[in-house]
């Protein structure tokens, strides 16, 4: 199967990873994004030459490619139905790992969208998310959509998770752009905590002062964006507790959660960070992993 060429638009495409598991939620999210942005939708399926499990280890590569082509064709049909010819849908099947294929296809994309399954505790130990692997090597936004999510879950809130306020520009810009595009409110969540031995020792009034200082720092970071209406209208929530837990809780009534990721220091072996991995595992809404450095040429909300 060869890639189909889109001619209706020159804007960067939205790339969707199609694997052996569910993809309906990722397609629903990506289709809506593509129609709103007026850009193409590109579906990618990777056929690994080394099958991942004992059930398929004896299958020849030709059978795997045939099955992959059928799986991709079903996803393309579903995507066509979702966009209703408003934007072009293209597709590609390639050999290699899902992470490698999506990194290659996503280099010039607007964003990459993947479906994330909630795994058991044991599965979490032996599996790393494809989204995390892709996000570690791309500068474009990567969105993980939890299985079971559907585009009717509109709650009118985009949440931005801020770690260090003075280094949160890209997360805040991405979240603000998404909130504007969706006509949603922006809520900024910042969490702080102390090491265990000191948690009980801090007086309540000092904890309150710490929270107020954090709130002021987040407000200053919003002001630095230069969008006065955003700074005035955004809701700032400062939580005392573990950051991953605070963000997962915030995802329960959000339609999108925007968080940052580590800036990779080396091209091989980089990762998105423990907080991002925890949020990807547990969040109940789509999670957008924003680039730690500007990449606005490919990101046009």
Residue written as token pair 């050999």? 95
Q: What is the DSSP string of 171-228?
A: HHHHHHHHHHHHT-EEEEEEEE---HHHHTTS-HHHHHHHHHHHHHHHHHHHHTTT-H
Residue 139 Cα to chain centre, angstroms: 12
Q: Looking at the chain, which residues constitute the CATH 3.40.50.620 domain(s)?
A: 14-146, 157-282
Distance spanning both ends of the chain, measured CA to CA: 31
Q: What are 255-271's pLDDT values in tens digits?
A: 999 999 765 444 444 45
Pairing of strands 142-146, 287-289: antiparallel
8-state DSSP, 146: E
Class in CATH terms, 157-282 = alpha beta
User: How buried is residue 203: exposed, middle or buried, by Cβ count under 10 Å (0-12/13-18/19+)?
Assistant: exposed
What pLDDT is stored for residue 123 in this prediction?
41
160 DSSP β-pair partners = 188, 258
Residues of the chain with pLDDT under 70: 1-10, 49-62, 118-129, 151-154, 194-201, 228-229, 231, 262-272, 292-301
* H-assigned helices in the chain: 24-37, 61-83, 98-106, 121-126, 130-135, 169-182, 196-199, 204-223, 228-233, 243-251, 274-282
Q: What is the CATH number of domain 14-146?
A: 3.40.50.620
What pLDDT is stored for residue 197 in this prediction?
61
Q: What are 91-107's pLDDT values in tens digits?
A: 999 888 899 999 999 99
Residue written as token pair 């752009």? 177
Closest CA to 191 of 225, 159, 145: 159
What pLDDT is stored for residue 126 in this prediction?
35
Closest CA to 188 of 272, 257, 131: 257
């Amino acid at each position: 199967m060869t890639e189909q060429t889109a001619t209706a638009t020159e804007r960067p495409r939205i790339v969707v990873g199609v694997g052996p598991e569910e993809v309906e939620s990722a397609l629903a999210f990506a289709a809506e994004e593509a129609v709103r942005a007026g850009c193409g939708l590109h579906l990618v399926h990777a056929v690994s030459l080394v099958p991942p499990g004992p059930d398929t280890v004896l299958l020849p590569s030709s059978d795997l490619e045939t099955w992959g082509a059928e799986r991709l064709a079903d996803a393309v049909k579903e995507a066509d139905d979702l966009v209703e010819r408003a934007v072009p849908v293209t597709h590609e099947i390639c050999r290699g790992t899902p992470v490698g294929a999506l990194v290659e296809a996503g280099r010039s994309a607007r964003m990459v969208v993947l479906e994330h399954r909630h795994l058991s505790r044991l599965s979490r130990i032996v599996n790393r998310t494809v989204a995390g692997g892709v996000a570690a090597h791309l500068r474009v936004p990567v969105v993980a959509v939890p299985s079971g999510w559907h585009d009717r879950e509109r709650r009118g809130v985009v949440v931005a998770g801020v770690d260090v306020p003075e280094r949160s520009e890209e997360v805040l810009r991405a979240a603000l752009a998404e909130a504007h595009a969706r006509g949603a409110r922006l809520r900024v969540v910042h969490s702080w905590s102390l090491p265990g031995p000191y948690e009980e020792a801090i007086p309540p009034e000092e904890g309150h002062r710490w929270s107020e200082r954090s709130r002021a720092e987040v407000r200053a970071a919003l002001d630095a964006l230069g969008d006065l209406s955003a700074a005035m209208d955004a809701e700032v929530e400062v939580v005392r507790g573990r950051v991953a837990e605070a963000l997962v809780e915030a995802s329960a009534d959000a339609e999108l959660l925007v968080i940052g990721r580590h800036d990779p220091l080396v091209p091989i072996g980089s990762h998105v960070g423990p907080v991002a991995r925890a949020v990807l595992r547990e969040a109940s809404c789509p999670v957008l992993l924003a680039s730690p450095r500007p990449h606005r040429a490919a990101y046009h909300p």
